[in-house]
A and B are shown apart, each in its own frame.
Chain A
Amino acid sequence: MSARDVHGPAPPWSEGFRVVGRAQRKIDGLAKATGAALYTDDLVLPGMLHAKILRSTQAHARIRAIDAAAALALPGVHAVVTGRDMPVKYGVIPWTPDENALALDKVRFVGDEVAAVAAVDEDTANAALKLIRVDYEPLRAFLDPEEALATPEPQIHEQTPEQKAKEPRGNVSKHVRLEFGEVDAALAGSDVAVEGDYEFHGTTHTPIEPHCALAQYGADGVLTVWSSTQITHYVQKALARVLGLPEARVRVIQPCLGGAFGGKSDPFALEFVVAKLAMLTGRPVKCLWTREEVFYAHRGRHPMKLRYRTAAKRDGTLTAVDARILIDGGSYSSFGLVTTYYSGQLLTGPYHFPTYRFDSTRVFTNKPPCGPKRGHGSVQPRFAFEVQLDELAEKLGLDPLELRRRNFQGEHVKTVNGQRVTSNGFLQCLEAVERASRWKERRGRLGRGRGLGLAGSMYISGTNYPVYPNPMPQAGVQLKLDRSGLVTVFTGGNDIGQGSNTIARTIVAEELGLDPADVRVVAADTDLCPVDLGAYSSRVTFMVGNALIDACRKARAKLVTALAENWKVAPERIAFALGRATDRADPARSLDMRAVLQLAEARFDTLGETGAYNTPQLGGDYRGGTIGASPAYSFTAHVVEVTVDEETGRITVENCWIAHDCGRALNPMLVAGQIEGSAYMGIAEALLEDHGVNRFGLHRGPSLLDYRIPTSLDTPELHALIVESLDPEGPYGAKEAGEGPLHPSIPAISNAVHDAVGVRLRRLPFTPARVLAELRAARAEPRGARAAVLSAGGGEAC
C-alpha cells in the first residue's frame, strides 16, 4: 500500500465539506424518473435478432445427442448453437472453472442451458426451441446436501481417473476447516456453553429487471456486448476466454441496471450465447430472460445447516465459538470457494472471540446454482450465532444487549482469525437502537404476543482478495477536465442502482470545488473506462472513492497552481467550493471555476488525470487468511418489534430500527436507502421467501406471485439510523452501507419472537406453520426441559 491509497477522513482544506455529507439527488435520478434511462432491453440495433435458450428438463443426465435440424429449418431461424460451439469452461473464480456456456456432455439441474436459437423474433425462437430434440440418459440426482455428501458417485462434476486417484472429492465442492486458539480446551474451561442446530433456507435476489444481453460483432473483429451485469470486467475476461478472442477485442458495456443484489455477478449463459450467435450470423442478437429463467439461473443465498457451540464465563465473556456448517451449493461452483470461507471468516466481529473454529463443507446438488446474495456467505452464520447469543444471555440471566456490549471487540484490533479491524462504531449502533426502540423500558414488558429482539453484525467494505490475483490496482479512474467547465469521470465501477455514480460525482465536485451538475460520469464501459473489478463485496465507494480522491488531488494541484500564478498569490490562499474559486485572504476576489479550468488548460495543456486504489496487505498468515480480509468493516445493530398471532402463527414486524456504522455518510440519503433496502430484504427472507425445488428438481414457484417478495403492505416501518465512525482509510472516512445492514434483521426477528411468546425459532423461514409447531411443542414440554437439551454437550461435557 502506498500513500496513493490513503487520504484520511478530513479534507486537506480548512473550510470543511460543501458537497459531501449532504443529501444529494442522484446523478441519474431524473433520467430514471422520466423514463429516459435506457436499460439493456431498451436497446435496439438495426437488423437485430432475438435469442432464446433451451433448458434441461432433467435434474442430472448425460446428453447422448442433440438434434437441431428441424429447428434450423424453421423459417426465420438464423442459427442454433449447442455446447460444442463453446467448449471452453469458465467460472467467475479462476480456480473453479466448471461451467460451460451451454451444457457440453451433461446437465446438472432442471433449467441448465442446453442449446440456443437466434431468430427473427422471440416467437419464432421459442417455436424453434420446441423442435430441438435432446436425448438424455438420466443419472441419479441429488437434491439433498446430506445425501450428496454421503454419496460419492455419481459425481455431479466428474473427476478424471487420475484426479480421483490423487484426491477423490465425491460431491464436495469445497471444504475448509480452520481453528484459531485451543477451542476444545477453552470449551472445557468455560462456565457455560450453549449448543444448537440452525437451518437457513434458500433465497434469491429477484431484481425487478430480468437478465438481458445484446451483442454486436463488427466486421473489424470487435465484439461488443451490452449486458445487465454488475461485473463488466470479469464478463469481458470470460467472453474472451470462451470465444477465443483477445481481451482487447471484447467490449462490455453495462447500461442502466435494474437491480442486482449479487444476482448479476457471474458471467451468464446468455452473454456467451448472444456473442456467439452474433459472430455466426453477422447480425446483432439480443436475449432477454423470462422471469422463470431468472429464478432458475439463481446464484442466490446458499441453504445452510449450521451447528454452533458458544461458551462463556459466568460474567458473559465469550471464551469459545465452534461451528460446523453444511452448505448446499447447487450445481456449480460460482463464488462457492469464497462462500465456504466467508461462512466462517466473517463471524469474528463485532465481538471478541479468544478461540474459534469452523468446519464448513460446500456440496454440489442438482439444483439451481447458489452464489453471492447481499451479505454473501455471512448472513446464514450470523443468523445462527446471533440467536445463540440470545440463548446464552438467557442462560446467564443477562440482558442480550448487555451481553453484546460486554463482548465488544473494540476499535483498531486484530480478530482471532487475524483480520485487522480499524474503525468500529458498534457500541454507538447498540446505543442508537437501544434509545430509539426504548429497549430498556419495553423489552419483556410488551405483554404476551408482542416482543423486541436485537442482533448485531459486521461486514466487509471490499476485499483485498481480487478474484484473480494480480499486482495491479483494484480500482482505477480517469478524469477529463476542459474549458467548458465540465469534468467527466471515467470509472469501471458498476452503478447497479446503489448510486456509485452519484458518489463519484459527489467526491469530484467536493475535491475540485465544482457545482455537482458540472460533473458527469461515464461508467462500466470496458473500452472507455479504466479497470474496476465491479460491484460486489461492498467495494465500490471505498475503492473507487479512494481512486477518485487520488486523481482529484493531482488535478486540484494544477488548478491551484494555475490560479495562484494568475492572481500572483501563494497557493495556500486559494479555496474552491461549489463552482467558485476564492482568495482566502481577500474573499471579495473570486472566479468562476470554468475560468479556472481554462487557466489550467492554458498553463498545463489538455487536462486529464488518473487515480488508483489498491488494498494494503491484509489477512491472517495461513491458507485462506486473505479471504474475508477487508480494508475496513461496517457494523450494524437492529432492534425489531414483532407481534405474534398465536392463533395463526403469523409474525408481523411492526417496526425495525437499524443503526449502521457506515463510516462517514458521503450522502446520507443514499445511505438510508441502502439501510432500509437491506433491512427489508432480510425481513423478507425471514418471513416470506423460500427458494427451493420439489422432488423432481423443479422450482417450487418460479414467479413473483409464488416467490413472495414483500409489497408495500408487507413491509414494516423502517427507521434508518446512521452512525459515522470515520474510518482512517476510507474515502473521507466512508465504509460500506449496501450489505451489512441486512444481516441482523433475521436473527433479531427470531429473538423478538422469543421475547413475545417464549419460543426459539432456529429454522428458516419463520412460516406460520413453524411458529405454531414451536408453540405446540413448548406447551407440551415441561418448563426447562428444552433449555436442558440445549446445554447437553456444553461446558462440562466437552
Chain B
Amino acid sequence: MRVLELEVNGDRQEVAAPAHWSLLEVLRYRLGLTGSKQGCDKGDCGACTVLLEGQPVLACLTLAALCAGKRVTTIEGLMPAHLRAGGTGPDPVQAAFDRCGALQCGFCQPGMMLSARALLDANPSPSRAEIRAALAGNLCRCTGYTQILQAVELCIAEAAGSEPAAPAWAPGQNPWKAPCGNGDGRT
C-alpha cells in the first residue's frame, strides 16, 4: 500500500492503494469514479482515457504512483467544471454527443469525449481529418464514428456561431440548427 495525493476533478484526494495499481484502478476502485471504463486493460481501446494536466492519457497504462500531486479530470468532472465556469447543463461536448445520437452503448464515450475536449481546448476549429486523427486512439464499436464526428463538428459550429452541417439522413431539414433545451427529449 502506498498513500498518494491527487487532485481529481478539482478535489484534493488522499488515496491508499497497492503500489502497482494503475490510475484507472485508483479511480474506479478507490474513488468510485466508475465513469472511466475498462475495455481492455492494455491500452488498446481508449475507453479509460482521462485528462492528466489537461492531456489525454490511458488511465489503464498510467501508474497511479506517477500521478502524485497531478491534476486529473474524469468524465464526472466535466459538467461540474462547466457549471463552475458559469455555464449551464453539461459541457458542450457532452451535450453535443447526446444531441447527435453519438451515445449508443456509451461505453467508449467517456474516453472519446475527453479526447474531444482536449482537442477542442487545443484547437477550437479542427478539420474533419484532424478530428479523426485526434480520436483515433478511442475505439467505438457502435456508431461507425459518423455521429461522433458530427457531434464534435456541432460543438465547433456552435462555438463559432455558425450553422452545423445537416446529416445525410435528414434531407431538407437540419435537426441541429436550433440549440436544444435541457433534457426535454425534443430537438
Q: Which residue of A23, A35, A722 contacts B76 across the interface (Cβ within 8 Å)?
A: A35
Q: Which residue of B33, B40, B145 contacts A704 across the interface (Cβ within 8 Å)?
A: B40
Q: Which residues of A contact B170 (CB under 8 A)?
A: 23, 668
Q: Which residue of A29, A36, A208 contacts B45 across the interface (Cβ within 8 Å)?
A: A208
Q: Which residues of A contact B44 (CB under 8 A)?
A: 291, 703-705
Counting chain B CB atoms within 10 Å of each CB, the highest count among A210, A711, A717 belongs to A711
CA distance A517 to B187 in the complex (A): 12
Q: Which residues of B contact A298 (CB under 8 A)?
A: none
Question: Is A34 in contact with B79, judged by CB distance below 8 angstroms?
Answer: yes
Question: Is A712 in contact with B135, judged by CB distance below 8 angstroms?
Answer: yes
Count of chain A to chain B residue pairs whose CB atoms are closer than 8 Å in the complex:
221
* A101-109, A219-227, A674-682: which lies at the interface: A674-682
Q: Which residues of A contact B142 (CB under 8 A)?
A: 259, 497, 673, 677
CA distance A744 to B135 in the complex (A): 27
**Chain B contact residues, majority secondary structure:** loop
Residue of A with least CB distance to B93: A33
Question: Is A291 in contact with B42, judged by CB distance below 8 angstroms?
Answer: yes
Q: B77 CB to closest chain A CB, in angstroms?
A: 9
Q: B183 CB to closest chain A CB, in angstroms?
A: 6
Q: Given the known A-B contacts A208-B140, A704-B42, are A671 and B169 also in contact in the complex, defined by CB atoms under 8 Å?
A: yes
Q: Which residues of A contact B94 (CB under 8 A)?
A: 30, 33-34
Tell me the B20-56 residues at the A interface (CB within 8 Å): 28, 32-42, 44-45, 47
Q: Which residue of B76, B148, B180 contacts A34 across the interface (Cβ within 8 Å)?
A: B76
Q: B60 CB to closest chain A CB, in angstroms?
A: 11
Question: Is B185 in contact with A498, judged by CB distance below 8 angstroms?
Answer: no
Q: A716 CB to closest chain B CB, in angstroms?
A: 9
CA distance A258 to B103 in the complex (A): 10
Q: B67 CB to closest chain A CB, in angstroms?
A: 19
* A37-45, A136-144, A352-360: which lies at the interface: A37-45
Q: Which residues of A contact B185 (CB under 8 A)?
A: 24-25, 27, 505, 509, 515-517
CA distance A260 to B106 in the complex (A): 12
* B113, CB-defined interface residue at 8 Å: yes
CA distance A516 to B187 in the complex (A): 11
* A275, CB-defined interface residue at 8 Å: no
Question: Is B40 in contact with A259, judged by CB distance below 8 angstroms?
Answer: no
Q: Which residues of A contact B137 (CB under 8 A)?
A: 711
CA distance A22 to B169 in the complex (A): 12
Q: Which residues of A contact B101 (CB under 8 A)?
A: 23, 25-26, 29, 669-670, 672-673
Q: Given the known A-B contacts A34-B35, A669-B169, A704-B42, are A25 and B180 also in contact in the complex, defined by CB atoms under 8 Å?
A: yes
Proximity bits, B118-153, A CB within 8 Å = 1, else 0: 000000000000011101111111111111110000
Q: B180 CB to closest chain A CB, in angstroms?
A: 7
Proximity bits, A654-670, B CB within 8 Å = 1, else 0: 00000000000000111
CA distance A709 to B142 in the complex (A): 11
* A257, CB-defined interface residue at 8 Å: yes
Question: Is A34 in contact with B103, judged by CB distance below 8 angstroms?
Answer: no
Q: Which residues of A contact B147 (CB under 8 A)?
A: 669, 672-673, 676
* A198, CB-defined interface residue at 8 Å: no
Q: Given the known A-B contacts A38-B34, A516-B186, A671-B169, are A30 and B106 also in contact in the complex, defined by CB atoms under 8 Å?
A: no
* B154, CB-defined interface residue at 8 Å: no
Q: B177 CB to closest chain A CB, in angstroms?
A: 11
Q: Given the known A-B contacts A24-B185, A33-B98, are A712 and B105 also in contact in the complex, defined by CB atoms under 8 Å?
A: no
Tell me the A691-730 residues at the B interface (CB within 8 Å): 703-705, 709, 711-713, 715, 717-722
Question: Is B144 in contact with A704, judged by CB distance below 8 angstroms?
Answer: no
Question: Is A291 in contact with B39, judged by CB distance below 8 angstroms?
Answer: yes
Question: Is A704 in contact with B39, judged by CB distance below 8 angstroms?
Answer: yes
Q: Given the known A-B contacts A25-B99, A25-B180, A669-B175, are A33 and B109 also in contact in the complex, defined by CB atoms under 8 Å?
A: yes
- The count of chain B contact residues (Cβ–Cβ below 8 Å) is 66
Q: Given the known A-B contacts A26-B98, A33-B97, A669-B169, are A709 and B139 also in contact in the complex, defined by CB atoms under 8 Å?
A: yes
Q: B114 CB to closest chain A CB, in angstroms?
A: 10
Q: B40 CB to closest chain A CB, in angstroms?
A: 4
Q: Which residue of A19, A25, A290 contacts B98 across the interface (Cβ within 8 Å)?
A: A25
Q: Which residue of B145, B148, B184 contacts A516 across the interface (Cβ within 8 Å)?
A: B184
Q: Which residues of A contact B107 (CB under 8 A)?
A: 39, 207-209, 258-259, 497
Question: Is B143 in contact with A676, judged by CB distance below 8 angstroms?
Answer: yes
Q: Given the known A-B contacts A25-B180, A497-B106, are A206 and B143 also in contact in the complex, defined by CB atoms under 8 Å?
A: no
Q: Which residues of B contact A35 (CB under 8 A)?
A: 33-36, 74-76, 110
B residues apposed to A, CB below 8 Å: 28, 32-42, 44-45, 47, 74-76, 78-79, 90, 94-95, 97-101, 103-110, 113, 131-133, 135-149, 167-170, 175, 180, 183-187
A residues apposed to B, CB below 8 Å: 19, 22-30, 32-39, 41-42, 44, 205-210, 256-261, 288, 290-291, 436, 496-499, 505, 509, 515-517, 668-673, 675-681, 703-705, 709, 711-713, 715, 717-722
* 20 residue pairs bridging A and B, Cβ less than 8 Å apart: A26-B103, A28-B106, A32-B103, A32-B106, A32-B109, A35-B33, A35-B75, A36-B76, A39-B34, A42-B28, A208-B139, A209-B39, A210-B38, A517-B185, A670-B101, A672-B169, A677-B142, A703-B40, A712-B136, A718-B146
What 9 A-B pairs have minimum CB-CB distances, sorted nearest first?
A35-B35, A497-B105, A258-B107, A680-B144, A32-B106, A516-B185, A35-B75, A42-B34, A704-B44
What would 5 more interface pairs be, CB under 8 Å, given A22-B187, A672-B168, A712-B136?
A32-B106, A35-B35, A208-B47, A516-B184, A669-B167
